[in-house]
Structure 1
């Protein structure tokens, strides 16, 4: 009977999604079906209380603020200035200006929180510039596709806030835990780019005119606004001065100040940024509300407990469990966006994770890493969609050249498993 119920609900989920119904409404509908058919609890009352509770969470307030901050910066000259500030320092590295994709994405990720926004912002700046200078298109696209996923891992991250709310884990701890893995992954991307450049020296254009150290420093002043904003947002969280929500509000004010000082914040830009953030947050809030109701429904039916008992009975080691979950999330990522994946699975998987003795903060970073992989896997790889819009290339072409970055993310997952201190060391230091 339990297998029948599970199969029925999963079948209903994919059938409704396949019909093109919004994810949030699909989750609500499947939850309603489950409660109506298999429990005695009044559905209307449960749905109203759960959706209101999920939508009015104070912790969730940080989410629309960080989204708005990213939307404001998306409409400023920040990205153009970032390229000017970075380029002089990269001329002597193997791969030269290809590293602007990775370093630019790493920096912008720290003020954006969204991989799609990072991909669009950095791509609009670097793709035309690198093409004009003669860099091969396929490696330019591949490095951008991989590096832009850092928008999810490097704090402040929208998906970390969603995970923190869904799993009842400290968002500040998750932010701190994401710093070292984010730098590690950026380092892996840069290492791959350098190796590729050394193996294909004929495909990298010759360096531009050399600059003195003083000239490089003068160009670096373009980086000051974004560095100051990152310092203010993350410094306020890490120092304990502000909560994640308060630091998000600080980020919005800082972004508005930067945009105004740069002359890029008229009434039209302000309106567009606010509407863009509102649309995106409403979509995410609907998904979260539907997922909260589905979690409640699954709890009444007893599926999470049964699944946890079933996986526990398999006798999997921690490593086997992580490998199975990585495959599970990658497959889900072929059909759902990252936020939907997190909210859809947390209620079911958390009891299993707790039973296996896995640290929920570590698991949060693991989930973010595998959701990053999903951003560059077809057919629903959101970064691939963004790149397709900018380059007019086929999804399969984009996915093929993203494969090396995907494999580096798999390597990063293995590294954080065998060396968990990569994730846990910094939060422990901050807590101590």
Structure 2
């Protein structure tokens, strides 16, 4: 069968079952089964044998052990006073910068992203304190909510990132190198956001009122004590990975243990917090792992149909510029972001797009960061922009208004993606320079 037609049939089946309201992991498994049966004429017994082999192999991946651990760590942090401490610690540091406390959204999200690995957890944890504080102090509602929508997505890019772990497992790329590669792009996006906020407030000072601060709050010891929980977790988790002392999966376990120790030392650990955080982590992890196992089955089905190789050869015959290819993929991912979450976008598109991108001469490591950036853009686009829903629940504003506020930050994220295409060294320089002894 023609590869383009085969690809279209696979996506039609997948979109059809997703549109029916079926769970994502079942949709992936059904699309793989129908494709192998209808296109390859495989028998049910052979399809069952392939599915069982692939699913068991995928479920046995050691790298996936990091996913529930990072999720649990984020759940524990969400249920403590870490966001209040973070806000109090950042307040005296950003008070003299144009934009004032609006920068707590950006800096706070960047710091919390380095311990949670989740965009939703980052947005909710930072937003539950900054949203009300900025509103009460008279800061611009559009900048406050828009910057939170944009900065909250940094949870996917700044390591440790659950989405980067998933990409590394599916694309067979070093997770440790992906973590290193995400640092500069994450700082680039945060810098663009902070520069935009500062520029807007310089042009219109009424967007950020002047504040009076207690000098005691600006004492270095007070600032350090407030920021210590987040900074210590960053050092423990990322430091153990980059020094080669622990793999990402082992570092995730160390992070959970450190988070539990923090809750014990601050006398915040209760049976309810322990039970609820563990239960939510288990539910989320089960969902993610089920999707990944069925995604591996779909990837194998696509491989049996030789779709990636045939499409790569077809695109090669078109002689289109690699940059035109990346532009087309960017538009494709932005459209997918209107309807799907980040994990679904990765598992659905990666088996087809990765071989094409590699064939065009792009590094798989670079493509992983670019893909995550595209997913972050999707988090700010309705109707399925997860960050928008989180902010709506926190602020009580309509989805339409929150989406409108996030437009400037959506455009800044697009500029960041363009810079990664023009200057791939933003992604590749640090991993090439800092060679981690950890394989994954």
User: What residue number does 2:300 align with?
Assistant: 296
TM superposition shift of 1:349: 1.6
What residue is the counterpart of 2:389 in the other structure? 385
Contact 1:142 / 1:405 at 8 angstroms: preserved in 2? yes
1:130 aligned partner: 134
Match of 2:374 in 1: 370
- Whole-Å Cα distance in 1 between the matches of residues 134 and 190 of structure 2? 19
Alignment of 1:16-415 (within 5 A): 16-41=17-42, 42-209=46-213, 211=215, 215-415=219-419
> 1:91·1:208 contact (CA, 8 Å) conserved in 2?
no
Q: How has the CA–CA distance of structure 1 residues 212 and 272 changed in structure 2, closer, same or farther, with 3 Å as cutoff?
A: closer
Identify the range of structure 1 (384-393 vs 278-287) with the bigger mean alpha-carbon deviation.
384-393
Contact (CA 8 Å) 1:86, 1:220: kept in 2 or not? no
Q: CA deviation at 1:212?
A: 6.8
For residues 10 and 223 of structure 2, the distance between their equivalents in structure 1, rounded to whole angstroms, comes to 57
TM-score of the superposed pair, with normalisation by structure 1: 0.97
* Separation in 1, partners of 2:220, 2:33: 61
SS at match of 1:272: helix
Post-superposition offset of 1:209: 3.2
Mapped partners of 1:70, 1:28: distance in 2: 29
Runs of 4+ displaced beyond 3 Å: none
* Post-superposition offset of 1:191: 0.2
- Deviations 1:340-390 (CA, angstroms, capped at 9, x unpaired): 111111111221122111111111111111110011111111111111111
Deviation at 1:302, TM superposition (A): 1.9
Distance 2:250 2:350 in 1: 26
Secondary structure in structure 1 of the residue aligned to 2:219: helix
The count of residues paired between Structure 1 and Structure 2 equals 432
What is the CA distance between 1:217 and its match in structure 2? 4.1
Indicate the SS of the match to 2:182: helix
Aligned CA distance change for structure 1 residues 203 and 213 (closer, same or farther; 3 Å):
closer
Is the CA contact (8 Å cut-off) linking 1:76 and 1:262 kept in structure 2? no
1:33 deviates by: 0.3
> More displaced, 109-118 or 293-302?
293-302
Alpha-carbon distance, 1:38 to partner: 1.6
CA-to-partner distance for each residue in 1:370-425, whole Å, 9 max, x for gaps? 11001111111111111111122222211111111111111111112222221111
> 2 CA distance for matches of 1:345 and 1:171?
19
Structure 1 regions of 5+ residues with no counterpart? none
Equivalent-residue separation in structure 2 for 1:33 and 1:104 (angstroms): 46
1:13 alignment counterpart: 14
- Deviation per CA, 1:231-280, whole angstroms, max 9, x where unpaired? 01101111111111111111011111111112221111011111111111
Which segment drifts farther, 356-365 or 186-195?
356-365
Query: Counterpart of 1:431 in 2: which secondary structure?
Result: coil
- Partners in 2 of 1:389 and 1:422 — Cα distance? 35
CA deviation digits over 1:268-302, x for unaligned, max 9?
A: 10111111111111111111111111111111122
Aligned to 1:425: 429
Q: What is the Cα deviation at residue 306 of structure 1?
A: 2.0
TM superposition score normalised by structure 2: 0.95
Report the Cα distance in structure 2 between the residues aligned to 1:293 and 1:122, rounded to whole angstroms. Answer: 37
Cα distance in 1 between the residues matched to 2:62 and 2:36:
27
Distance in 2, matches of 1:292 and 1:225, equals: 37
State the SS of the aligned residue for 1:105: helix
Q: Unaligned stretches of 5+ in structure 2? A: none
